[in-house]
Amino acid sequence: MTRTALVTGGSRGIGEAISRKLKAEGYTVAATYAGNDEKAAAFTAETGIKTYKWNVADYEASAAGIAQVETEIGSIDIVVANAGITCDAPFHKMTPQQWKDVIDTNLTGVFNTIHPIWPGMRERKFGRVIVISSINGQKGQFAQANYAATKAGDLGIVKSLAQEGARAGITANAICPGYIATEMVMAVPEKVREAIIGQIPAGRLGEPDEIARCVAFLASDDAGFVNGSTISVNGAQFFV
Ligand code: CAA
- Tens digit of pLDDT for each residue in 18-31? 999 999 999 999 99
Task: Burial-class residue 111 by CB neighbours within 10 Å (0-12, 13-18, 19+).
Answer: middle
Phi, psi of 41 (to 5 degrees): -65, -45
pLDDT digits (tens, 9 = 90+) for 138-173: 999 999 999 999 999 999 999 999 999 999 999 999
The Cα 82–Cα 98 span in angstroms is: 19
The Cα 197–Cα 29 span in angstroms is: 33
- Is 30 among the domain residues? yes
142 lines ligand 1 (CB under 6 A): yes
Is residue 1 pLDDT above 80, yes or no? no
192 lines ligand 1 (CB under 6 A): yes
CA 144 to ligand 1 center in whole angstroms:
9
- Is 62 among the domain residues? yes
- Is 196 among the domain residues? yes
The Cα 47–Cα 87 span in angstroms is: 30
- Is 237 among the domain residues? no
The Cα 182–Cα 206 span in angstroms is: 9
144 lines ligand 1 (CB under 6 A): yes
Which of 192, 197, 234, 238 to probe ligand 1 with, by most ligand atoms within 8 A of CB?
192
Is residue 240 pLDDT above 90, yes or no? no
pLDDT of residue 203: 96
CATH of the domain at 199: 3.40.50.720
Choice among 20-24, 38-42, 97-101 with the minimum mean pLDDT: 38-42
- What confidence tier does 215 reach under pLDDT thresholds 50, 70, 90? very high
pLDDT of residue 59: 98
Catalytic amino acids?
147
CA 139 to ligand 1 center in whole angstroms:
15
User: 188 lies in which domain range?
Assistant: 4-232
Nearest atom of ligand 1 to the alpha carbon of 184:
48
The SS3 of residue 59 is helix
- What confidence tier does 128 reach under pLDDT thresholds 50, 70, 90? very high
The Cα 162–Cα 170 span in angstroms is: 7
- Is 238 among the domain residues? no
- Is 240 among the domain residues? no
Domain count across the chain: 1
- Is 193 among the domain residues? yes
Q: What is the DSSP letter of 205?
A: -
> What number is the average pLDDT over the span 89-94?
98
pLDDT digits (tens, 9 = 90+) for 107-123: 999 999 999 999 999 99
